[in-house]
Amino acid sequence: MNTINIAILGCGTVGGGVAQIITEINKELVIRSDAKLTLNKIVELNPTIAAERFHLPMELFCGSGKNLSPQEASAYIEDIIKSNEIDIVVETIGGTSDFVHQLCLDIVASGKHLVTANKALLAERGKDIFDVAEKKGVKIGFEAAVCGAIPIVKTVKENLTGDKILSISGIMNGTSNYILSQMQNENLEFDTALKLAQENGYAEADPSLDINGGDAGHKIILLIKLAYGIDVTMEELSMTGIENISKEDMDFANEIDAKIKLICYAKKMNGDIYATVRPMMVKNSNVLSGVNGATNAVRVNCKYSGKHILVGKGAGSSETAMSIVSDIVFISRYGKQIRNIAEKQERNFADANHFVFPYLITFHTADIPGTTGFITTEIGKQDINIDTVSHNRHSGKKATFSVATMPSTIEKIEKAIDNIKKERPNLLLSETKIMPILY
């Protein structure tokens, strides 16, 4: 039986969870991996705190258990990278800094396998890390980088290789889903729901990446790489956050039998790849509409096997750590037989403005007779068929209503809005909201 020696860089929430699982159920992991899994070294600035929190023996920590300076930690990390005895390095330092980027490059360049939950790094700066890993014949495990405990990476990369993935859609950020669920179910305004998420530990003090779509964007970029074999940058990905969602939007969602969710969506159509991250009106007939709280869910639509739904926790110490340990076992058992990513494809990443969806368009206008007829006529002039028009909400000299379209493109809708502004410059009182309707 082979021995697989493991080093963990960082022993915080995730790294500590990994160390705890490896030590607590080592016998089971050895059977599953068909290898002797040995946790050799942990590099942590404050080992006493980590050892107590995760019930770890002090001898596992570099520096004999004393606190380390950043310089000392870097020296121990360098020793690990140079060592011929370490087979797998788990990176749980996090972030996209030059230091962490170079660290991951050095790990794979040294011929060691890399396991990480660092979605931001892999999505934003991962191309060269994957390229070097490919040249060196080592593996990158990143199951934990996409939706925590949900095994979506292995599902796309391994389990569905006998099929053709047509689309991927999902709720991939628990914080935004918790906020939207509170707004929908408890009739709260956005700011109140965000504060509640922070108080309950679902949102950071700075929640920007969660509410602006950035965190979810990292995850769909990695799934696009796996499913369709193309590299997409954050700059190329069309993203809209949830900051401007209001109780009024929730009311319009109810009118069309839908819930508002921040959805990651990628689809292959006519050889092109379309993708976006944005709030969508998810019809109640779609299982994603019923996924509430901080739960994540991913729906994969395949040509031959149909739809597959994976639901679970997208974050947390033990949940994320479990996925990292799963990668360690998988690499230990199958090694070079694993493919890091899909074979690169020559496919066009298309402009999201040309993405065909039914849309809900919300207008805030001056309360003038004939406004609804005028606006729907302008929409019709762009060859957009209208499904339904909501009741008008009147408030003083203002009116609000929504128009649900049949499948169209944002490009056509925005052209209609531009024409409305030209014809009646003072009619629209705020920016028009455009949300896809997901069936």
CA distance 102 to 114: 13
Measured N-to-C along each axis, helices 47-54 and 13-24 cross at an angle, to the nearest 10 degrees, of 50
- Which of 41, 219, 267, 313 is catalytic? The answer is 219
Reported in sequence order, the residue ranges of 203-351 that DSSP labels E, i.e. its strands, are 238-239, 258-269, 272-283, 295-302, 306-313
| Whether residue 366 sits in one domain with residue 309 | no
Please identify, among 337, 372, 397, the residue that sits at the C-terminal boundary of a domain: 337
Residues of the chain with confidence (pLDDT) below 70: none
φ and ψ of 264, to 5 deg: -90, 130
| Whether residue 258 sits in one domain with residue 207 | yes
| Whether residue 125 sits in one domain with residue 251 | no
Sign of CA dihedral 243, 249, 254, 257: negative
Residue 226 and residue 342 in contact, taking contact as beta carbons nearer than 8 Å: yes
Sign of CA dihedral 115, 117, 123, 124: negative
| Whether residue 166 sits in one domain with residue 300 | yes
Residue 142: partners with Cβ closer than 8 Å, 6 or more residues away: 115, 116, 117, 118, 119, 122, 153, 222, 327
**Is 305 in a helix, a strand, or coil?**
coil
CATH number assigned to the domain comprising residue 275: 3.30.360.10
| Whether residue 362 sits in one domain with residue 387 | yes
Residue 357 and residue 184 in contact, taking contact as beta carbons nearer than 8 Å: no
| Whether residue 236 sits in one domain with residue 185 | yes
DSSP β-bridge partners for residue 405: 386
DSSP β-bridge partners for residue 310: 298
| Whether residue 164 sits in one domain with residue 141 | no
Pair of tokens at residue 318: 């033990």
Instruction: Specify whether 283 is catalytic.
Output: no
CA distance 379 to 370: 15
| Whether residue 60 sits in one domain with residue 138 | yes
**Domain membership of residue 416 as a residue range:** 356-438
Tell me which amino acid residue 132 is.
V
| Whether residue 173 sits in one domain with residue 230 | yes
pLDDT in tens, 299-350: 999 999 999 999 999 888 899 999 999 999 999 999 878 888 777 777 899 9
Predicted local distance difference test score (pLDDT) of residue 345: 78
Predicted local distance difference test score (pLDDT) of residue 335: 86
Predicted local distance difference test score (pLDDT) of residue 347: 83
CA distance 125 to 233: 9
pLDDT in tens, 153-175: 999 999 999 999 999 999 999 99
DSSP β-bridge partners for residue 361: 403, 434
Residue 370: partners with Cβ closer than 8 Å, 6 or more residues away: none
CA distance 85 to 40: 9
Pair of tokens at residue 105: 């490059």
Residue 309: partners with Cβ closer than 8 Å, 6 or more residues away: 287, 297, 298, 299
Predicted local distance difference test score (pLDDT) of residue 21: 97
CATH number assigned to the domain comprising residue 364: 3.30.70.260
Q: What's the gap between Cα 265 and its chain centre?
A: 10
| Whether residue 198 sits in one domain with residue 127 | no
Tell me which amino acid residue 336 is.
K
φ and ψ of 199, to 5 deg: -65, -35
Q: What's the gap between Cα 224 and its chain centre?
A: 11
| Whether residue 175 sits in one domain with residue 115 | no
Report which of 134, 21, 35 is spatially closest to residue 87, judged by C-alpha positions.
35
CA distance 117 to 157: 17
Please identify, among 337, 370, 405, the residue that sits at the C-terminal boundary of a domain: 337
Measured N-to-C along each axis, helices 13-24 and 317-334 cross at an angle, to the nearest 10 degrees, of 60
CATH number assigned to the domain comprising residue 141: 3.40.50.720
**Is 41 in a helix, a strand, or coil?**
strand
φ and ψ of 424, to 5 deg: -135, 85
| Residue written as token pair 């990668």 | 327
Please identify, among 274, 305, 337, the residue that sits at the C-terminal boundary of a domain: 337
Pair of tokens at residue 198: 């922070």
136: enclosing H helix or E strand: helix 127-136
Predicted local distance difference test score (pLDDT) of residue 343: 76
Predicted local distance difference test score (pLDDT) of residue 317: 86
| Whether residue 251 sits in one domain with residue 375 | no
Number of domains forming the structure of the chain: 3
Report which of 247, 117, 278 is spatially closest to residue 182, judged by C-alpha positions.
247
By 3-state DSSP, what share of the chain in percent is helix, strand and coil, each rounded to 5?
A: 45, 25, 30
Report which of 408, 352, 350, 125 is spatially closest to residue 238, judged by C-alpha positions.
352
